[in-house]
Amino acid sequence: MTPRPRALLIALAANAAFLVVEVVGGFAFGSLALLADGVHMVSDVIALSMAFWAARLAMRTPTERHTFGFGRTEVLVALGNGVLLFAGAIVVVIEAVRRLQSPPTVDAVGVLIVGGLGLVVNLGSAFAVSRHAEGNINMRGALFHLLADALGSLAVIAAAIGIVLFGADWLDPVASIAISVLVVIGAVELLRDAVHVLLEAAPAGLETAIVKEALASQSGVEAVHHLHLWTTGSEHAALSAHVVLQGPLSLHDAQIRSGELKQMLDDRFGIRHATIEVECHTCVDDEAHEAHEHAH
C-alpha cells in the first residue's frame, strides 16, 4: 500500500475507534458539544473511508474507456465530503439553539477528559494525513475534517473548563455552534475547490497569462494561442496550446522543439501533461479563417 492510502487508513482507524468513545461520553455526560463533535466524527469516518477508496481507485491505470484514468474520483469524493460537513453543521446548530433556551446539566470533568483524548487523536491523524495533502484535493478534504475536529476538541475543552470554573452550562451549546462555524468554513472552501476542478478552471497557483508568456518568450516562438489549463484529477495540471514557431522547420525539428517546450513547462510549472500543436506560420483568427473558407 502506498503512503497516501496508508495515512488515510491510519486516520480512519483512529477516528472510528474514538467515535465510539465520544458518542458514549456525550450521552453519559449530557454534553451536546461532545455529541456535536461525534456527529462531525461520523462524517469524518465516512469521509475518510471515501477518501481512502478514492485514493486507491485514483491509482488505477487508465483504460480504453477512461483514458485519463480515475483521478477525478478524488474530486467527486471531496465534493461529497464538503456536502457532509455542511449538512452535519446545520443539524448541530439547530440542536444547539434549542439547548441554549434551557441548558442541561453537564458533567464537565468527564467532558474535559474525552475532549483532551479527542484532541490527541485528531492532531495525530491530521499529522499523518498532512504529509500527503499538498496539491491533492482529496487528501486536503480529509485534512479539513481532521483539523475541524481538532478545533472542535479545543472548543469542547474550553467549554468544560468554563463549566467547571463558573458553572456556565450554556457554554456547551455555544461551543457546539463555534465548532459548526469552523466546519462550515472548511466545507465552503472544499466545495469551491472541487467545483473549480469539475468546471475545468485553471489549477490553483497557475496563472494562464504567466504560462502563456513563458511559452511565448522561448527562443524561436512567434506566437501562442488557444492555450487552456485545467486539472485532470485532484492534483495533475494539464495544458493544451497552439504554438507558432519561426520557420521554415522540418517535421523532425518541430517535434524536437515541441519536446523542449514541454520540458520547460514541467520544470517551471509542474505541468507534466501538455499537448502542443506546433504551427510554422502565423495563424489568423478562427472566426476570420472560417469566414474566409465559407466565402470560397
Complete domains list, the chain, with CATH: 3-198 (1.20.1510.10), 208-295 (3.30.70.1350)
Pairing of strands 273-279, 221-231: unpaired
For the chain, 296 residues long, give each residue's pLDDT as a single digit of tens.
566 678 888 888 888 888 888 788 888 888 776 776 676 677 677 777 877 777 777 777 878 887 777 777 777 877 887 887 788 788 778 878 887 887 777 788 888 888 888 888 888 888 888 877 766 666 777 787 788 778 778 877 888 888 888 888 788 788 778 878 877 877 787 788 888 888 888 887 789 999 999 999 999 899 999 999 998 765 678 999 999 998 778 888 888 999 999 999 999 998 888 999 988 765 444 444 444 444 55
Residue 161, burial from CB neighbour count under 10 angstroms (0-12, 13-18, 19+): middle
pLDDT reported for residue 218? 93
pLDDT reported for residue 289? 43
C-alpha cell at 214: 513563458
273-279 β-sheet, strand order:
221-231, 237-245, 273-279
CA gap 228, 242 in Å, rounded: 10
Q: What's this model's pTM, rounded to 2 decimal places? A: 0.64
Pairing of strands 221-231, 237-245: antiparallel
For residue 240, the surrounding DSSP H or E stretch is: strand 237-245
For residue 245, the surrounding DSSP H or E stretch is: strand 237-245
CA gap 268, 265 in Å, rounded: 5
C-alpha cell at 41: 466524527
CA distances from 131 to 99, 125, 139, 244, 268 (A): 39, 11, 9, 41, 23
DSSP-assigned letter for residue 1: -
pLDDT reported for residue 17? 85
Q: Tell me, letter by letter, the H, E, C secondary structure of 199-215.
A: CCCCCCCCCHHHHHHHH
